[in-house]
A and B are shown apart, each in its own frame.
Chain A
Amino acid sequence: MVRDGTRPVAGGDGRFGQLDLIGEPLRLMLFTTYQFLIGFLPAALAGFFALRAFGLHKASITFLLICSLAFYAIGSLVHLGLLAGSIGVNYFLGRTIAQERPYRRLLLIGGVGFNLALIFWFKYLDFTLENLAPLTGTTHTLRNIILPLGISFFTFQQIGYLVDCYTDKIPERNFRQYALFVSFFPQLIAGPIVHHSHTRPQFAALARPGFDLNALSYGVMIFALGLGKKALVADPIARAIDPIYTMAASGEPLTVALSIAAILGYTLQIYFDFSGYCDMAIGLGLMFGIRLPINFNSPYKSASIIEFWKRWHITLSKFLRDYVYIPLGGNRAGEVMRLRNIFLTMLIGGVWHGAAWTFIIWGALHATAITANHATRMVWPGLDRINSAGPKLLKRAALLAFIMGSWVYFRSPSVDAAHTVFAGLLGTGLGDISLSSPPALTDYTVPVQIYLFMGFASLIALFAPNSLEITGYKENWKEPLPNLSGPAPRMELTPSAALTTAILFTGGLAVAWQPSIFIYFNF
């Protein structure tokens, strides 16, 4: 018998299980959880429409704000004060900056600094100190600061707002609408990053009477499409490839087949995950009568990296252009400086995704690629016009190869793990190309059905029209829904569309019994 004064490892009712498995359960109410789908969302819709039915239109906006704050509080109660404080400070700053005062530029700098300080403290401080420690000869103990949900999004959104207040001098005077602009729950946690000018007239319109059941119906339809992408495509792929990245993280060599599964799988997982999330956000916005900006537009159909960033996370690209690239000087100081500014902007975009060397490498790769693409256009302007089948296919293939390779850094828990994945691909891992026979060190294999499923998903990502094209969604709230001016929408309010929506919704609910997290909720 050992007499031990320390805390025992096992004990407490049910604590064996927690020891064996994982730590705290996830409290965040994801869009794919049944708590959200069956509880929160119907309650929010019912309350919102009931208030409007009784003519309490302004109260319905307040209710929507309360719902949004409750949504945030369920996932991160301790940080609700931070969000509220951030909203209050930026609201006050915005109104002050918009006034003709001599120190308004100073206030703008202070305001932007305040927001950057917030995000730096929570997101980058540990990483910075940890990497500075060897240089300064000190040691740094990680504080493991918990990252507030959505901080990257709501701080960037408010930085944009302050700059707009400075340049346009049109601040939001209604605090409730400003708070809703920042905290509107469909976009609070993972974007899209919304311009104040985009939602301001829409929230103002909510104060006027009116029901938009058509928007509600299309919202349900688009939401279901997003739910299907996330739950039925992204999550099954994630479950198949996550163990491979875990193996890579622990230094286990990979077979060629496993490396292919890891690279192709994550390329598809992040596509359907983020695309699905964006659809769900847009669908949710529509249910409450708000058109959120389009954030995702079939990026894997791009023929160049420049085009890719006009289709992937569109609102982040626009933000970086308006609030980083242009303030850096944009193209105003010659071509070389323009290329430098492009590079720095993309690098910042990479770092925005997370405080880790993997994100910095990913950002640097994309920054280099997009800068090279711009430079090529300068010296060989005709390249973009060579669009016959062969060269176009070659360009798309080269781009996809680059994108897929860069995603490995984005996904891997460490740079070494990423290199393990590449080593497996090059055959310098185990050199085993078989799909079925397990390699020597592990018994994990990806079922052949998953490879076939990934092939099918690839076809969708590369060739199928996207959900917003299918439904005729336009982000301009004054345009009709569906917008019939472009290609005819394929999903109108028909019985077959209702059945498709129901199948996707049921499938999503079915998977919701054990949901995974949205990748972009991490940023």
Chain B
Amino acid sequence: MKQPRLSPIGFLFTVTFCVAMLFSISILVPHNKHDRFERHHDGTTQKADWIYARLTFNPTPVDVALIGTSRTGAGLSAPRIEAAYCMATGQRIHIANLSIPQTGRNLHAVIVKELLQHKSPGLILVEMNEHEARKPHPGFIFLADAEDILRAPVLINLNFASDLLRLPGRQLDLFMSGLLPNGSRVDSAQDHLSSDHLDRTDRLVLRDGSIVSRDVIVDRPYLAREKTRRTQSAKATHVLPEFLHPLEYRFSRIYLERIEEAAANAGAQIDYAYLPAWEEPTFPPTLAAELGGRKPSFVPTPDIANDPDLWLDPTHLNAAGARALTAEFAEWLVQTAPNLGRPAAPGPCPSVD
């Protein structure tokens, strides 16, 4: 039967309507979440596979979860905190450093959601910096559940439209890859089962297997130069006109609220830790006001922030700096939450060195 010929307007309208329908349907196609976390589309999300395996396949509980950026990854050693906590209290606890490089509270919410689906942490520590990023995390589109991408805040969310437009592609791509055998996948859950920790405070293992030591002291002029460069590119507390100030940190506030709400529903305690930059020892009070009154409970002593020998660059501690920060953090943890990990697990305290 010969089909009716559409007018050009009718044709264009039909195409547009069908594209909209197909887009909507494609969001609903299923896929394997493990596959989603195993893929390394973005350099910042490479740790996601370990995080997923740690939370999903590894039976070791999580008593304390560290949520943050590369500052947390470089600055806090989970095994050392466990050892120090055990030495101080006699209790063995399990800490998971679930930080992922790059700022963006939306990804913190993704990690916390995953954490609470699989584990029952007593405490969730969320990183705070002297600058609160306004931008979303670039890895959100790769790791977040479809429903979380759809319900992301629209206002002052620079990635909302692009994430939404990329979502059908991601869904179809993951769906299609699920139909293929694992011909090109090299990682597997089994590789990670024995790994309670992915500690990046002493060294960094790159994808090609090469190792970058963090046990390095850099020249002070280099630090100063990098800090100047960073300061020049850093934004002021407000970049929007005054009448839009209430919206400027809305993105972060919404996600922090969601994190707190999810933790409360799961019976986990939420607290905040200040991870400083070089020569930035204090958390700005003005920023606390912008974040709905939230401010860090843990703030390291100024000695760490001000000692140039403890920094690899202006925002990341070197190995010695990480040891110093870890020690202070462990001490704070013992004082703040002395009853984690009860009932006590049998056996001696773990040793790190």
Contacts and interface: CB of A to CB of B under 8 A. Distances in A.
Interface residues of B, number: 70
Contacts of B312: 8, 10-11
B46 A4 contact: no
A214 interface: yes
Interface centre among A1, A16, A18, A496 (most CB of B within 10 A): A16
Interface in A218-250: 220, 224, 240, 243
Contacts of A213: 8-9, 12
B74 to A, nearest CB: 8
Given A5-B218, A495-B6, A13 B183 contact: no
A16 B70 CA distance: 8
A187 interface: no
B181 A509 contact: no
Interface stretch (B36-44, B56-64, B77-85, B88-96): B36-44
Given A505-B15, A509-B23, A509-B165, A12 B316 contact: yes
A13 B70 contact: yes
Nearest to B71: A13
A89 interface: no
Contacts of A5: 218-219, 222
B43 A12 contact: no
A34 B166 contact: yes
Contact of A217 (B11, B101, B219): B11
Interface stretch (B208-216, B242-250, B265-273, B337-345): B208-216
A449 interface: yes
Interface in B132-181: 141, 162, 165-173, 179-181
Contact of B212 (A9, A444, A501): A9
B313 interface: yes
A364 interface: no
Nearest to B221: A5
Contacts of B214: 10
Given A1-B217, A494-B3, A513-B170, A7 B316 contact: no
Contacts of A499: 14, 18
A510 interface: yes
B296 to A, nearest CB: 18
A492 B320 CA distance: 71
Interface string A435-447: 0000000011111
Contacts of A386: none
A117 interface: no
Given A1-B215, A213-B8, A493-B8, A10 B18 contact: no
B286 interface: no
B75 interface: no
Interface in B24-47: 26, 40-46
B101 A216 contact: no
B22 interface: yes
A493 B219 CA distance: 68
Nearest to A5: B219
B4 interface: yes
B212 A510 contact: no
Contacts of B217: 1-4
A452 to B, nearest CB: 11
A372 to B, nearest CB: 40
A20 interface: yes
A230 B219 CA distance: 50
B26 A506 contact: yes
A104 B101 CA distance: 62
Contacts of A444: 183-184
Contacts of B315: 11-13
Nearest to B3: A494
A514 interface: yes
Given A3-B217, A14-B102, A216-B8, A510 B70 contact: no
B165 A38 contact: yes
Contact of A447 (B172, B181, B207): B181
B232 interface: no
A17 B15 contact: no
Contact of A509 (B11, B71, B168, B316): B168
A509 B169 contact: yes
Contacts of A426: none
A518 B10 CA distance: 32
Contacts of B9: 213
Contacts of B8: 213-214, 216-217, 493
A334 B70 CA distance: 72
A205 interface: no
Contacts of B71: 13
A26 interface: no
Interface in A479-498: 492-498
Contacts of A214: 8
Contact of B22 (A243, A506, A513): A506
B265 to A, nearest CB: 31
Nearest to A492: B5
B276 interface: no
The listed residue with most B CB atoms (<10 A of its CB), out of A7, A495, A513, is: A513
A12 B46 CA distance: 16
Interface in A1-48: 1-22, 34-35, 38
Contacts of A3: 216-217
A503 interface: yes
A17 B45 contact: yes
Interface string B80-117: 00000000000000000000011100000000000000
B180 A10 contact: no
A8 B215 contact: no
A511 interface: yes
B204 interface: yes
B43 A21 contact: yes
A502 B6 CA distance: 15
Interface string A130-169: 0000000000000000000000000000000000000000
Contacts of B17: 502
B236 interface: no
A10 B312 CA distance: 8
A512 interface: yes
Given A13-B103, A216-B12, A506-B22, A498 B6 contact: yes
A495 B15 contact: no
Interface of A: 1-22, 34-35, 38, 213-214, 216-217, 220, 224, 240, 243, 443-450, 492-499, 501-503, 505-507, 509-514
Given A13-B70, A240-B184, 19 more contacts: A6-B218, A9-B212, A11-B316, A14-B103, A16-B200, A17-B101, A22-B43, A448-B181, A493-B7, A493-B11, A495-B3, A495-B6, A496-B3, A503-B18, A506-B19, A506-B23, A507-B172, A509-B169, A511-B173
9 contacts: A1-B216, A4-B217, A14-B44, A14-B103, A21-B42, A443-B186, A444-B183, A450-B183, A493-B7
Interface of B: 3-12, 14-19, 22-23, 26, 40-46, 69-71, 73, 101-103, 141, 162, 165-173, 179-181, 183-184, 186, 200, 204, 206-207, 212-219, 222, 226, 312-313, 315-316, 319-320
